[in-house]
Amino acid sequence: MSSPKIFGGIPEKFTKYDKAKIVLLPVPFDGTSTWQKGADKGFDAFIEASENMELYDIETESEVYKNGISILNTITENSSPVAMVEAVYKTVKKQIKCNKFVTLFGGEHSISIGAIRAFYESFDNLTVLHLDAHADLRKEYEGSKYNHACAVYEASQNTNLIQIGIRSMDVSEKLTMDFEKVYFAHEIAQDDFWMDSAIEQMTENVFITFDLDVLDPSIMPSTGTPEPGGLLWNETLEFLNKVFNEKNVVGFDIVELCPNSTNKAPDFLAAKLYYKMISYKFSSNKMTEEYEEEFNDNFHSPFSKLSKFKDNDYDKF
């Protein structure tokens, strides 16, 4: 057995599952991508880059790793997209019940389907905040409902889906798309009205699915289909910070890192993005008093009171 991976090169005592508030599930699946392959290499590149990152976050004045970040066993199921989605679903659901803050790293975007299902079954009135260059609203693609091109179709039917940064889609997806809840890249480029508008449309509980190709290829060229005209770093973080401050983010995934061995900067960006997101989630100076009280009552879980599960549900696993 190879030694277990550690995010950010953090001290081992902060990687222990029992005490960790944050779990990170690697799903290096790349079974359905259409153009450049390589999303299966994303997780390793992300971890390697993370080891070079400084662990104090200036903006939140925090060292979030002290909440514990435990990497779960990699989902290796790749016999079919359906089987992979099911494996992700089961693992994520179990971790939600264990009151962990569940995060995932892809792999390609089809890995989100099982995660989103586990979250909308576990939390009332879930918003799925989808950042992506692509609409991903196809009901089926190349004969499968579990293709990356279908990543948020199920979310569109079962959650409050809000889409940010879209700049590529098929005309058929217009039938599924809720235009009131879509902020296209060309609109985002004009002014920043979209940030507050999108947040106003969110329910309290939010799951974020972050396809790295939402970012501009000038800063994120390492994706399967780099579309020009994407979001830049600071505006992306400004928006995410607002979302984490104003809503109860219950989990997130980051997908579609397709690493390039001669340019490590995008891998580092992905690592930093992940760390920023957990820093926003856990930085105590951002908490309202009420939230802080709830947080202290639920040492392991800042959101357990909002979960649909009763304690006895736990026995099913």
Residues in the site for Mn ion, rule: CB under 5 A? 132-134, 211, 213
Question: CB of residue 295 vs Mn ion: minimum separation in angstroms?
Answer: 34
Question: CB of residue 213 vs Mn ion: minimum separation in angstroms?
Answer: 4
Question: CB of residue 276 vs Mn ion: minimum separation in angstroms?
Answer: 20
| Residue whose CB is less far from Mn ion, 154 or 211 | 211
Question: CB of residue 9 vs Mn ion: minimum separation in angstroms?
Answer: 29
| Residue whose CB is less far from Mn ion, 97 or 134 | 134
- Closest residue to Mn ion, based on beta-carbon distance: 134
Question: CB of residue 168 vs Mn ion: minimum separation in angstroms?
Answer: 8
| Residue whose CB is less far from Mn ion, 177 or 306 | 177
Question: CB of residue 227 vs Mn ion: minimum separation in angstroms?
Answer: 8
| Residue whose CB is less far from Mn ion, 134 or 138 | 134
Please state, in angstroms and rounded to a whole number, the distance separating the CA atoms of residues 309 and 96.
9
Per the CB < 8 A criterion, the answer to whether 218 and 176 are in contact is: no
| Residue whose CB is less far from Mn ion, 30 or 57 | 30
| Residue whose CB is less far from Mn ion, 133 or 278 | 133
Question: CB of residue 83 vs Mn ion: minimum separation in angstroms?
Answer: 23
| Residue whose CB is less far from Mn ion, 20 or 214 | 214
The residues near 179 (Cβ < 8 Å, ≥ 6 apart) are none
